[in-house]
Structure 1
Amino acid sequence: MRIPTPLSVPSVSGAVALCKIALLLTTGASAYLSLSPPNPPAPPKELMTRRTFFERAILWFTFCSKAMTMIVTFCDAFATFSLAFPSSPLSLPLSLLCPSPLSPALIRSLTSSPHPLLILGALATLGGATIRRACFRELGNLFTFELSISPTHRLVTTGPYAFVRHPSYLGVYLTLLGASAAGLAPGSWLHECWLRPPPCRRGAVGFDAQGVESGLALLHIAKTGVRCLGGVGLGTAVAWSCVAFWTMKVALALNGTNKRTAMEDAELRRVFGNTWDVYAARVRWRLLPGVY
């Protein structure tokens, strides 16, 4: 019987790992700050009458986006830290975070220099959180995630609102698109450990603890004639399902947010009349100056 040789683990640069971890934690923390309501929900009597499915589920949408972003980025940071600093008491066995075989190629992917998509995603989420927090401060207790008009409502035209009419929604776009880029970037924990199926080779069979060939492996053999170590794997299937759910949720959120800009404009014009017309004539752009 051939005895397997020990795994040759590539050296990991601590500085590179810390840079990647900083970008990941920035992404997760920014998503939390951007998507956490600054005030309690608006009373039902102050809500706008036209409420779509997106409006009714807005708090659920934001909670899911925030939770999924934080889980992915923090797990990625833990995996990177555990590879770079294996002797640290904070390190975790990578088998707890990564079901794929721990090969030198996988380690190189997880500990390589931050991919441009990760850098861009972290900067986008940070920018989105910065804009959103500025909007929270500017509106104070008037800012709610639900569309509402309170009896004491006033038209805010200062701060970020002096440049575009709906800057907080620009922050939403930056947050969700940035989190998507950071979580799915090549070299990320999700991309390398969960979205890639385990390698297959002829003659290799997956067995469980009792030595029984796995059903997924048998199914793969029946279809392709190639014996696959562990088959596609339940973890990979669940990971792709989560990515599909995230994509659908982000698409609905961005579409609903875009529709919100027109709804808010109409409601503010109804409430503030000529004051709103003067403001809209001065600040023509909804989300991005000179573009839209």
Structure 2
Amino acid sequence: MVAERVAFIAPNRPAPKGEEMEKFGRADKVTRTATWFPRISLGVDYICHLCELAAILAREYPSPLSDRVLATLFKDPSAAERLEMSPIYLAGCILLVSNGVIRQWCYDTLGTFFTFQLALFKEHKLVTSGPYAIVRHPSYTSLVMGRLGLALVQVFPGSYLHESGLLETRSVAILVGLWELWIIAIVVEVITKRVPREDGVLRQEFGRQWDEWAKTTPYKLIPYVY
């Protein structure tokens, strides 16, 4: 939960509208939703985690209160026995923690230049150190890791959402499906549109300095892959 908060809550105030943002053209999904979507997403994730924690505690410490908790959280209270830290769940946890660590590294390296909106400030500098010496867009690498990690810990067998029976309710299944589609749409837009747009604006702004950086750091998101 700590890693998720680090990754999904902006470290700085939103970039001011005006000249700094106009260089990137029309605002993309991330920019348009940056002030509210991460907090809603974090709230949804926390609810899932807290329900899972409550279910595990109720399962491990039987009592009349525990029985009521399990009856509230599950269609079939005995399904709480299937909650487990499977290899898939563990992989998701590793991705989430790695996401938080990488994102904090990006925050520390960029400082006040890091915003969820596409923006260039008057005093902007091209930062090529830290994680930006490994790939040019490490914060987006961590975004993909974090979203994949959440999917692994929330919807696969052994997770609360999967075992609770909630997904057997059509309306809940539709909402979860739409939510995941929205997340996928954001990730796809980041990879296919935002990354090239950032590179284009930074290259135009910093010229030869960006070209030299692109030569020494040729990969956008994944070293030796992309």
TM-score between both structures, scaled by the size of structure 2: 0.91
Instruction: Name the CA distance, whole Å, in 2 between partners of 1:160 and 1:92.
Output: 48
Matched, 1:269 2:203: yes
Matched, 1:130 2:64: no
Instruction: Name the CA distance, whole Å, in 1 between partners of 2:14 and 2:58.
Output: 40
In structure 2, the residue matched to 1:143 is: 114
Instruction: Kindly state the Cα deviation for residue 54 of structure 1 after the two structures are TM-superposed.
Output: 4.2
Name which structure has the greater RCO, CA cutoff 8 Å, separation 6+: 2
**Structure with the largest fraction of helix:** 2
Matched, 1:288 2:222: yes
Instruction: Name the CA distance, whole Å, in 1 between partners of 2:65 and 2:134.
Output: 49
Matched, 1:42 2:15: yes
Q: Which amino acid aligns with 1:95?
A: A
When residues 193 and 151 of structure 1 are mapped into structure 2, their CA distance, relative to the original with a 3 A threshold, is same
How many residue pairs match? The answer is: 222
SS at match of 1:150: coil
User: Map of 1:192-271 to 2, 5 A cutoff?
Assistant: 192-195=163-166, 197=168, 236-258=169-191, 259-271=193-205
In structure 1, the residue matched to 2:53 is: 77
TM-score between both structures, scaled by the size of structure 1: 0.71
SS at match of 1:51: coil
SS at match of 2:103: helix
Q: Which moved further from structure 2: 47-56 or 115-124? A: 47-56
Instruction: Kindly state the Cα deviation for residue 62 of structure 1 after the two structures are TM-superposed.
Output: 2.2
Instruction: Name the CA distance, whole Å, in 1 between partners of 2:67 and 2:125.
Output: 51
From the CA coordinates, give the structure whose radius of gyration is larger: 1
Instruction: Kindly state the Cα deviation for residue 92 of structure 1 after the two structures are TM-superposed.
Output: 6.6
Matched, 1:59 2:30: no
In structure 2, the residue matched to 1:101 is: 76
Choose from 66, 86, 89 the match for 2:62.
Answer: 86
Q: Which amino acid aligns with 1:84?
A: E
Choose from 125, 149, 154 the match for 1:178.
Answer: 149
Instruction: Kindly state the Cα deviation for residue 33 of structure 1 after the two structures are TM-superposed.
Output: 1.3
8 Å CA contact 1:79, 1:92 repeated in 2? no
8 Å CA contact 1:125, 1:179 repeated in 2? yes
Instruction: Name the CA distance, whole Å, in 1 between partners of 2:214 and 2:143.
Output: 21
Instruction: Name the CA distance, whole Å, in 1 between partners of 2:171 and 2:52.
Output: 17
Q: Which amino acid aligns with 2:162?
A: H
